[in-house]
Structure 1
Amino acid sequence: MKKFFFIVVLMMLLPACAGNQNVAHPYDREDSNGTKLMTNREGNGIYNRELDDDRTNTNQNPNFIDLSESRPNYGTDENKLSEALIGEEGLTMGPVVRNGQDIRVTVYTSDDLSKKELRDREEELHNKMVRALPRYHIKINLEKR
């Protein structure tokens, strides 16, 4: 009786191990060294595709790192700060130092201004840059070049 029960169980479990061998998964192809692992049918790898429409895109969860090529970065923040200077004659952007949520921006002016005019100009630039990047604490340092 035990042999019969063992044979029946074995006959039920063995076909489950075979699976469907005729269905090819798009990521199953690889060469002998495994260098083509994770390629799609066109042959270009997962890292060469646009990830905005990809099913492996992690942008649905804010806790994961954004992998798309159009993700915002610190360079985007610097561009927003320099856009705040557009239309301001005689001002050029200097070094930008970022430390957590604090940003220190040095702006150079070619105008000869008094101390009061410098403070007023710094306050005006500070308001523009805070409107451009409200999530940072911005400190402006206006210097004569």
Structure 2
Amino acid sequence: MKKTYWMSLTVILLLLGACGAEEDSMFSRNDQEGTQFVDNDVVGHNEEDWPTARTQTNQNPNFIDLSENQPTLGTDVDKARETIAELTPYEADEVWINGGQMWVTVHTNKNLTSVTRDNEEAELHDTLTRALPRYKIHVELKEK
């Protein structure tokens, strides 16, 4: 009984002794005030001292933008209408967003053959995809 008691006490002391902060530990850091455990408290730093870095959401247009001035569905619809008005000879009618897909209907006053319509829809699709790359865009060109 005494032997198992001393063995378990020795094992517990060895385990507790291994739990200290070491110089090379990834959980602590050394600075002028000695060894400190890493935490989320920011003491002694101003936000102005931190370098401004681009966040991950600003680097890839397909990520959801979580910044305060993030675009909403309404601003994306406005951007699609603005792109159609400025870069194409067509008139935007319906613009719908459903998840990651955008459905766009545009009108033209010209009579188009099916081949010409397909080519114009493909060109309009490319233009809208460059303007709004986060959506899978479906374009339908109709005659008035």
Residues 8-30 of structure 1: CA deviation (Å, up to 9, x unaligned): xxxxxxxxxxxxxxxxxxxxxxx
1:81 maps to a residue whose letter is A
State whether residues 77 and 96 of structure 2, in contact with CA within 8 Å, keep that contact through their aligned partners in structure 1. Answer: no
- Which amino acid in structure 1 is aligned with residue 78 of structure 2? N
Structure 2 unmatched runs, 5+: 1-54, 58-63
The aligned residue for residue 102 of structure 1 is 101
What's 1:88 paired with?
88
- Structure-to-structure mapping, 1:62-77, within 5 angstroms: 70-77=69-76
Corresponding position: 1:135 with 2:134 = yes
What residue number does 2:29 align with?
none
User: Would you say the 8 A contact 2:100–2:135 is kept in 1?
Assistant: yes
CA distance in 2, matches of 1:142, 1:83: 17
1:1-145 aligned at under 5 Å gives the runs 70-85=69-84, 86-89=86-89, 91-145=90-144
- Structure 1 Cα separation of the partners of residues 87 and 125 of structure 2: 15
Letter in 1 for 2:130: R
Q: Distance in 2 between matches of 1:98 and 1:78?
A: 8
- Could you say what the CA RMSD is over the residues aligned between the two structures, in angstroms? 2.6
Deviation for aligned residue 1:97: 1.8
Q: CA deviation at 1:143?
A: 0.5
**For this pair of structures, how many residues does the alignment match?**
83
**What is the TM-score with the length of structure 2 in the denominator?**
0.50
- Give me the whole-angstrom Cα distance separating, in 1, the residues matched to 2:141 and 2:103: 11
Aligned equivalents of 2:130, 2:110: Cα separation in 1:
24
Q: Which of the two has greater strand per residue? A: 2
TM-score by length of 1: 0.50
Large movers: runs of 4+ above 6 Å: none
Percent identical = 32
Secondary structure of 2:97's partner?
strand
Give how far 1:71 is off.
4.1
Q: Which has the higher contact order (CA 8 A, sep 6+)?
A: 2
Could you give the per-residue CA deviations for residues 2-52 of structure 1, whole angstroms, max 9, x where no partner exists?
xxxxxxxxxxxxxxxxxxxxxxxxxxxxxxxxxxxxxxxxxxxxxxxxxxx
Alpha-carbon displacement from aligned partner over 1:84-129 (angstroms, at most 9, x marks no partner): 221422x111111211101111011111111111000000000000
Within 1, Cα distance between the matches of 2:101 and 2:71? 18
